[in-house]
Chains A and B, each alone.
Chain A
Amino acid sequence: MELTRRDAAAALAAIGATGGVALGVRRAADERSGGPGGEEVDPAWDGEGLPGDEAVRTAMTAVARTVYPDAVSGIDAFVEAFLDGRLDGSPHGEGIRAAVAEAESAARSWYDAPIADLPPADRDELLRELGADVAGENPGGTTAERVRYYVVNELLLALYSSPTGGELVGIENPQGHPGGAESYRRGPR
């Protein structure tokens, strides 16, 4: 089942992104944006400091390939479009950036490679070694809890509040998605 930009738009509409971000249109300022403290970020990120938007997208897309089921395709475009709406300078967007930095740091330290270059089994293992599988999400918690909140659950929230993600489970209008007031009346297809 293919995820589309429409799914990303739906997920953003569901969980909130404002500010007029046009999906698929990268902001010229992306790579100049920094962390909350105005820290400089480098588009060709080497693992030091905070990653720029492109590096965040690359890492998140790689994680999505681990936490999304095999049944979905179109992950890259979906995640990138979704993050266009989330990396908006908000505290949440900066939380994503910081959590990705921690996960990347662990990947480079433990596996000598960025997340995107890890084989699938190592990516899965990395997330588990970080504790993101058993941690409860918490935006102000431990590294495991923040990676769970800003990375793993961020991606799962995007998927399963979208029509295509919901449909995988049998609900084309999942909670959080404004899919109209008709689907509840329809029987199973």
Chain B
Amino acid sequence: MSGAESVGDERSAADIDRTPVPDADVCVVGAGPAGALVADRLAGDREVVILDAGPRFDPADRLARQERAIRPSYGRPDVWGVGGARDAHENAGDRSYPLNHARVKGVGGSTLHWQGMVMRLHEDDFNSGTARGVGPDWPIDYADLRPYYAEAEKELGVAGASDNPYAPPREEPHPMPAFEPSYSDSLFAEACEELGIDMHSVPNARNSEPYDDRSPCVGYGTCQPVCPSGAKYDATVHVERAEAAGATVIDRAPVERLEHDGDDRVTAAVYATPDGERHRQEADAFVVAAGGVETPRLLLMSASDRYPDGLANGSGHVGEFFMDHLFAGAGGTLDEPTRQNHVGFYTSACDQFYDEADAEQAPFKLEFFNYAGPSPVEMALTGDDWGDALLDRLRDGYGDHVAMGGLVEQLPDAESRVTLADDRTDDRGNPVPRIEWTVGDRALDTIERANEIQVSILEELGADVEWVAGPDATGPAYHHMGTTRMSDDPDSGVVDADCRTHDLDNCWIASSSVFPTSGAMNPTLTIAALALRVGDDVASWLAGGS
């Protein structure tokens, strides 16, 4: 079936058994990358069940979803069916947070629409308080996560090179060679050389050659929000692998509450199904992997007489310290072709300024875009012209753009938080998440610093600088972090160094929600590394460890 409106209706009732799995060892809440990797890690030896609030998407619909991504009739949330009463939320902070642009619910989670950039955090990111004088230190170091980073790179399939002098130490090459620099990278390179600014490759969770029985990139150019070829990693890879090993996936099964006993153990996940029924999935161990917004929401919705402020919330910090990365960017035009929008990912970056970070300046990284300016096909579908007039407009609008982006760390702030809405409920009658997102001066000042460098590069390049996304125009990178922070101290954090909740013996959280600080690197590789580590810890606990 063809056409953007021909995607399957995953929300329609279907004759699928969604009853609980008997004698489950592990219940994973969330089928995104963290939950998928944990499940895959454990499924060979344990009875694993994965519950996800969203649907299982039909791979045959990916081209139709791509058409949605290109056609102006569809908004970004429409591509993967986000929105409506199921995904209602409230904003109450200084800045509105576009939550439903920032997530996908369903098997594969937000990796279905992510761009696929996979950097390791830097060593100082784990020791921000000590090294930079702000924020807490993580209770683990880079060295603790280093072997898991390497494993995560193999699991996701990362194309990268070892040409980045600013990256943290690594023990072996990436699993695949890096994507070669773009033509526009070569233009930037001359300007950067003049300014003494280093460019280097970036690691992509995208196949530069056949890998893991998946295609190499074929250049559809719509990576974000959909890769029809499967070259970009998404978590359906590990969900399917876990299922092949015996795991059970129950889709369209939002977990509404975690129940516990009197011995500080979670006993069941209560979930709803499309037929209106509610079920209890019991298990020995529970892993909550529902992302930085739904994870604290679930814990808060699980309040009980014993835990009146929410489950695992003895510290009072569940939902607090909500962080995202801030975008800093600038762009303009040259008087020559720049060959943009052939692919939807970038191939060169600059981490040179990252470790200058201190109490006043946040870590930040710079990106050299391969998708600056408009895409001709998208331009063609808007406007009141056609024929030769349209072609003239496309030729005028496309071809000479250049742009840079960058991500900036946001410090954790207890006032930036996710709570439950007082009187607004979702399609199941549960309180929707209420987001109060605030951004501090350190991040805003650092955006200006990033802008200065970006503009200097563009000017050296000879560009007519036409836009700057500075402190007033910044937005989130859709990386939800910090809302169940990790700490050795039960009064200071929700989970311990193993990502197990302080308050409940058999409950782990695998998510960027455990990040005490965010660094400025895209979080998914760190999420994956932590998830693999959680998998090991759960396996050890189930085997009789402590």
Contacts and interface: CB of A to CB of B under 8 A. Distances in A.
A175 B70 contact: yes
Contact of A95 (B3, B179, B344, B377): B3
A92 B208 CA distance: 34
Nearest to A13: B63
Interface string A55-91: 0000000000011111100000000000001101111
Interface string B56-89: 0000100110110011110000000000000000
Interface in B376-409: 376-378, 380-382, 384-388, 390-391, 394-395, 398-399
Interface string A174-189: 1111111111111110
Interface stretch (A34-42, A43-51, A103-111, A152-160): A152-160
Given A160-B376, A176-B221, A183 B386 contact: no
Contact of A93 (B2, B4, B347): B2
Contact of A15 (B63, B384, B395): B63
Interface string B161-175: 000000000000000
B222 A186 contact: no
Given A171-B376, A175-B220, A185 B182 contact: yes
B341 A175 contact: yes
A133 B220 contact: no
A18 B1 contact: yes
B399 A170 contact: yes
A124 B390 CA distance: 13
A170 B73 contact: no
Contacts of B219: 173, 177-184
Given A156-B386, A160-B376, A69 B222 contact: no
Given A86-B3, A188-B337, A166 B73 contact: no
Interface string B312-336: 0000000000000000000000001
A91 B180 CA distance: 41
A69 B390 contact: yes
Contacts of A133: 384-386
Interface string B33-69: 0000000000000000000000000001001101100
- Centre residue among A152, A180, A181 by max chain B CB count within 10 A: A181
Given A137-B72, A160-B376, A181 B2 contact: no
A164 interface: no
B377 A181 contact: no
Given A169-B394, A175-B341, A176-B377, A67 B386 contact: yes
A159 B398 CA distance: 16
B229 interface: yes
Contacts of A17: 2
A183 B342 CA distance: 7
Nearest to B400: A170
B430 interface: no
B6 interface: yes
B2 A88 contact: yes
A130 interface: no
Contacts of A142: none
Nearest to B180: A185
Given A137-B381, A181-B218, A171 B208 contact: no
B66 A16 contact: yes
B352 interface: no
A139 B73 CA distance: 8
Contact of A70 (B72, B388, B394): B388
Given A67-B386, A86-B3, A185-B183, A176 B380 contact: no
Contacts of A166: 376-377
A134 interface: yes
A153 B72 CA distance: 10
B216 to A, nearest CB: 7
A63 B366 CA distance: 46
Contacts of A88: 1-2
B181 interface: yes
A168 interface: yes
B370 interface: yes
Interface string B143-179: 0000000000000000000000000000000000001
Given A67-B387, A170-B395, A14 B220 contact: yes
Nearest to B388: A69
B164 to A, nearest CB: 19
A15 B72 CA distance: 14
Contacts of B71: 137, 149, 153, 157
B339 interface: yes
Interface in A128-152: 133-134, 136-139, 149, 152
A173 B370 CA distance: 13
Contact of B378 (A68, A175, A187): A175
A183 to B, nearest CB: 5
Contacts of B183: 184-188
Contacts of A90: 1-3, 6
Nearest to A158: B377
Contact of A66 (B2, B342, B386): B386
B72 A18 contact: no
Contacts of A67: 386-387, 390
Given A69-B390, A70-B388, A171-B398, A18 B377 contact: no
Given A19-B1, A174-B221, A178-B218, A184 B343 contact: yes
B525 interface: no
Interface string B1-34: 1111110000000000000000000000000000
A119 B135 CA distance: 71
A4 interface: no
A176 B222 contact: yes
Nearest to A145: B73
A71 B391 contact: yes
Interface in B391-439: 391, 394-395, 398-399
Given A92-B3, A188-B336, A157 B70 contact: yes
Interface of A: 12-19, 66-71, 85-86, 88-93, 95, 124, 127, 133-134, 136-139, 149, 152-153, 156-157, 159-161, 166, 168-171, 173-188
- A-B pairs with lowest CB-CB distance, top 3: A92-B3, A16-B63, A184-B342
30 contacts: A15-B66, A15-B67, A16-B4, A67-B387, A68-B387, A71-B388, A85-B2, A89-B1, A90-B2, A92-B3, A137-B73, A139-B4, A153-B381, A156-B381, A156-B386, A157-B377, A159-B380, A160-B380, A166-B377, A170-B337, A171-B398, A171-B399, A174-B221, A174-B376, A175-B221, A176-B377, A178-B218, A179-B219, A183-B342, A188-B183
